[in-house]
Structure 1
Amino acid sequence: MTVSDADNEGTGRRKEKKKQRPFWQELPILLVIAAVIAALMVTFIGRPYVIPSQSMEPTLHGCAGCTGDRIYVEKLTYDFGDPKPGDVVVFVGPPSWNDTYKSIRSSNTVTRGVQNFFSFFGLVPPDENDLVKRVIAVGGQTVQCCDAQGRILVDGKPLDEPYVKFDYPWNPNGANAVYPVGRVFGPIKVPEGNLWVMGDNRRESRDSRAHVGDEFQGTVPIKNVRGKAVFKIWPPGRIGPVHAQNPQ
């Protein structure tokens, strides 16, 4: 046996003697890796959200007393382009939209810190006024309501909105008819870089129509958009895609 052969044999014996770490020692490493992957997913890919209200019925459920839909909202689409008419988007409400928002964080400093920590990894909802609506018009377009049939107009053309099942009745002969706030509005020209958004449930949605008096005339800056709703992931009976339907 040569000296080289002896060295190789000795190295082999040492490798054989090296034991695998016990699972309890590897577990913290695995948890850190999982947390990093989760944080990257939430930051760059997408995250789940809970539908808290009935404003998007029947597309998304969130009615009082029922199980609110859990949806998956992806971010990648808007890394390469802006939201389009018909997209269902999650966004942070501008300042004037926060009048009824209450923080979901604990008043206890320690608990609040833990909540903020887990929120970074997508395990706790973010403490912000996240809303979900459908894009009706984009920057440069003019939106108003209504034509003789009660339809919304964008740049003078009526929209086809099969997703709207709940709206206030329209009286075609109602030149002097009194409608609830928001049924009739505009015309409003959407500023560049902003969106006009509305809930599919027109009777139960505080959307752009409710904020026409603010600095953005009810529109939402694109920079506030968190992502595009693409899939319902809970409850099991409603699992399926969230369809973008361009009404224009």
Structure 2
Amino acid sequence: MTTDSTDGGTRRGDGAPGETGAMPPSYPPRATPRGRGRRTAPIGDAPTARRGGWFRETLTVLVSALVLSVLIKTFLAQAFYIPSGSMEDTLELGDRVMVNKLAPGPFELDRGDIVVFVDPNDWLGELPPDTRPAWQRTATELLTWIGLLPQDAGHHLIKRIIGVGGDTVECCDAEGRLMVNGEPIDEPYLKDGTVPSEQEFAVTVPEDHVWLMGDNRSNSADSRAHLGDPGGGAVPVKNIVGRAFVLLWPADRITLLDNPEETFTDVPEPAP
């Protein structure tokens, strides 16, 4: 230990000048007492924040799902309810089908496709009044609009395309088969016990129209029943909602609704 005569203080011989009486810092530094200098949330805030976060996340998921459902139903696909037996045995009363709304559009319509279309010329006649309570009608319409319920009959029908624009469709050849552009076709999708048509006809389908018939020909008020309508019974393509591509209910009958391409393979293209 040495004495500093200048300020009368004492310092260690190996200390830095001017650090009179200073002690070296301790190492490691002493820990701050727990909780000191730190803001603590009041009791109960954390669970509340967690509940608020869970609510926001759930709401976001629900809104996103609803928006996605509406977009899919509007632009891509929609479920429809089968209201009659005109398409038996392919489709039965009460079945639900999924319809591809990109056909017509990016995808073309072909002979043999099953399509849902908007009633073109009062085919359905006057619809019976809806006797359900107002709240039930409103709830059904909302859920249908969202896409959570299938579209009911309303002003929609479902049939199979037999002829497209320019085709000549007629009944029948000597064996009772329909002919398309002079070529007889064998129709494996017809309901057992029915004939291709009991009514004779011969039509040329206008451009941008299709000729539609039910698979249960004896119980289908299709294009044949509207020969006196504008277009001679043919339906404008603009009235087509989409092509049915899968039977999705009841569960034990889920199946793809394939186009019977072999039926129309030999049909020539219409003459220009």
**Normalised by the shorter chain, which TM-score bucket?**
0.7 to 0.9
1:96 to 112, 118, 122: 122
Match in the other structure for 1:221:
236
Share of identical aligned residues, percent? 39
Match in the other structure for 1:209:
224
Match in the other structure for 1:34:
65
Greater relative contact order structure (CA < 8 Å, 6+ sep):
1
Deviation at 1:81, TM superposition (A): 3.6
Q: Aligned to 1:203, what secondary structure does the other structure show?
A: helix
Instruction: Confirm or deny: 8 A CA contact 1:232 1:240 kept in the other structure.
Output: yes
1:233 to 208, 233, 248: 248
Residue pairs, 1:49-198, within 5 angstroms? 49-62=80-93, 68-102=94-128, 108=134, 112-124=137-149, 125=151, 128-166=154-192, 168=194, 183-198=198-213
In 2, Cα distance between equivalents of 1:230 and 1:103: 31
Deviation at 1:160, TM superposition (A): 1.6
In 2, Cα distance between equivalents of 1:164 and 1:26: 51
Which one has the bigger helix percentage? 1
Q: Aligned to 2:79, what secondary structure does the other structure show?
A: strand
Deviation at 1:113, TM superposition (A): 4.7
Instruction: Confirm or deny: 8 A CA contact 2:104 2:237 kept in the other structure.
Output: no
Instruction: Confirm or deny: 8 A CA contact 1:144 1:184 kept in the other structure.
Output: no
Which deviates the most, 196-205 or 115-124? 115-124
In 2, Cα distance between equivalents of 1:216 and 1:230: 27
Match in the other structure for 1:48:
79
Q: Aligned to 2:104, what secondary structure does the other structure show?
A: helix
In 2, Cα distance between equivalents of 1:112 and 1:166: 37
In 2, Cα distance between equivalents of 1:114 and 1:45: 23
> For residues 104 and 32 of structure 1, do their structure 2 counterparts lie closer, same or farther at Cα, with a shift above 3 Å needed?
farther
The alignment covers a number of residue pairs equal to 217
1:39-90 residue CA offsets vs partner (Å, 9 max, x unmatched): 000011101111121111111111xxxxx22111112242214311001111
Q: Aligned to 1:37, what secondary structure does the other structure show?
A: helix
Q: Aligned to 1:134, what secondary structure does the other structure show?
A: strand
Instruction: Confirm or deny: 8 A CA contact 1:139 1:192 kept in the other structure.
Output: yes
1:202-241 residue CA offsets vs partner (Å, 9 max, x unmatched): 1111111111111121111111111111111111210111
Please tell me whether Structure 1 or Structure 2 has the larger radius of gyration of its CA atoms.
Answer: 2
What amino acid sits opposite 2:77 in the alignment?
A: G
In 2, Cα distance between equivalents of 1:235 and 1:111: 23
Any stretches of 5+ residues in structure 1 without a counterpart?
1-16, 63-67, 171-181
> For residues 215 and 147 of structure 1, do their structure 2 counterparts lie closer, same or farther at Cα, with a shift above 3 Å needed?
same
With normalisation by structure 2, the TM-score equals 0.71
* Aligned structure 1 segments of 4 or more residues deviating by more than 6 angstroms: none
In 2, Cα distance between equivalents of 1:132 and 1:120: 20
Q: Aligned to 2:97, what secondary structure does the other structure show?
A: strand
> For residues 207 and 221 of structure 1, do their structure 2 counterparts lie closer, same or farther at Cα, with a shift above 3 Å needed?
same
In 1, Cα distance between equivalents of 2:249 and 2:194: 30
What amino acid sits opposite 1:117 in the alignment?
A: L
Instruction: Confirm or deny: 8 A CA contact 1:105 1:115 kept in the other structure.
Output: no
RMSD across aligned positions (CA):
2.7
In 1, Cα distance between equivalents of 2:237 and 2:166: 13
